[in-house]
Amino acid sequence: MISENRKSKTHVVVLFGGESAEHDVSCVTAAHVLRALDPQKYDVSTVGITREGNWVQAELPQSKNVKALSASGAATTANLVFQATQSSTSTVVIPLLHGPMGEDGTVQGLLELAHVAYVGSGVLGSAIAMDKSVAKQIMAANNIAQQKFLTVRATDDPVSAIDRAIVELGLPLFVKPANMGSSIGVSKAKTRQDSLMALAKAFEYDEWVLVEEAVTGREIEVAVLGNESPRASVPGEIVPSHEFYDYDDKYIGHGAQLLVPAPLSATEVAEVQQLAIQIYRTLRSDGMARVDFFYEVGKRGFLCNEINTIPGFTPISMYPKLWQASGVSYPELLDELIDLAIARHAKRRRNTSR
């Protein structure tokens, strides 16, 4: 629960931008998070990482109408985070770095070394969730239902890999980089030639690629919040305006329908919430995550598609919408995430400082 006895303002560092293809998404997310942080509770700093990997002391926007923060400003280094620990006030970093080099455990490792509290999953949980292939292998070992898949590495023969995928998974196929989000580099391939082209496209973003069977089913998402005792939001449903829920639907076109809460029976709601929490715990998540499912009605039921440990926080993003529908406002959600970060950090320090 949210702490009632903060003795002084918590210093919150909003870390955004990053080197991945999801840089722009991160800048938009950061602007909305910044607007929702209560200045009576928090002293806020903004630190940007440019596309080239340079750290900058980003300036706080003068207007609350700014749609995206800019990862520009006076050059600095990651030492800014280390210096924060010298302050008498508690510091919490909110890493809003979608994709590789931010959501994958790299920045989380830096923050662990700096002994700084941060929002979200730790190094292992972040790395597992970012690599969809590894996450799926762990879920398979724990008998969690999901669509059929194969993993292909850039050094594998692409023709043999696609021919095997067609035999084992059928057509059409979904082809996606293992370590990427926001549907970047994802293709739906309907023919063998399409599949080979999709594989080449996905390899532009990662050396590991996931090839999945195409599932015809409803798209259901559940937000999860918490550390040792996580809880699940009401489920939501996405009805894409395109063949699948792609980057344009998520961030540009606004064409997808977001049904919150999802039209599910009480039994179906309880089942998918329980599954979301099981997956959250199995993949070592902390703080927050959004768990995405396909729902094959009358067939295999709920199939886990993936988990996102730093879900989008834009106005049309499902994670905050799901919690709002569950009775937790955007500012309250951030308050709780910050408190969860402080609690997790204190526990980690007790376990590692002996």
Residue 247 has pLDDT above 60, yes or no: no
Residues 201 and 246 in one domain: no
Band (pLDDT 50/70/90 cuts) for residue 37 is: very high
Which SS3 state, helix, strand or coil, does residue 313 take? coil
Contacts of 144 (CB under 8 A, 6+ apart): 275, 278, 279, 282, 304
Average model confidence (pLDDT) across the chain: 88
| 8 A C-beta contact, residue 338 and residue 5 | no
Residue 296 has pLDDT above 80, yes or no: yes
Domain containing residue 270: CATH number:
3.30.470.20
pLDDT digits (tens, 9 = 90+) for 108-125: 999 998 889 999 999 999
Domain boundary pick from 213, 231, 265: 213
CA distances from 181 to 111, 260, 309 (A): 22, 22, 11
Residues 251 and 134 in one domain: yes
pLDDT digits (tens, 9 = 90+) for 40-90: 999 998 999 999 888 888 877 766 777 888 888 777 666 666 665 555 568
* Average pLDDT of the residues in 253-257: 67
Amino acid at 230: P
Domain span at residue 81 reads 10-120+331-352
- How far is CA 9 from its chain centroid? 27
| 8 A C-beta contact, residue 3 and residue 339 | yes
pLDDT digits (tens, 9 = 90+) for 131-161: 999 999 999 999 999 999 999 999 999 999 9
Please tell me the total count of domains within the chain.
Answer: 3
Residues 135 and 247 in one domain: yes
Domain membership flag for residue 4: no
* Average pLDDT of the residues in 256-279: 96
Domain membership flag for residue 1: no
Burial class (CB in 10 A: 0-12, 13-18, 19+), 4: exposed
Q: What's the pTM value of the predicted model, to 2 decimals?
A: 0.89
Band (pLDDT 50/70/90 cuts) for residue 304 is: very high
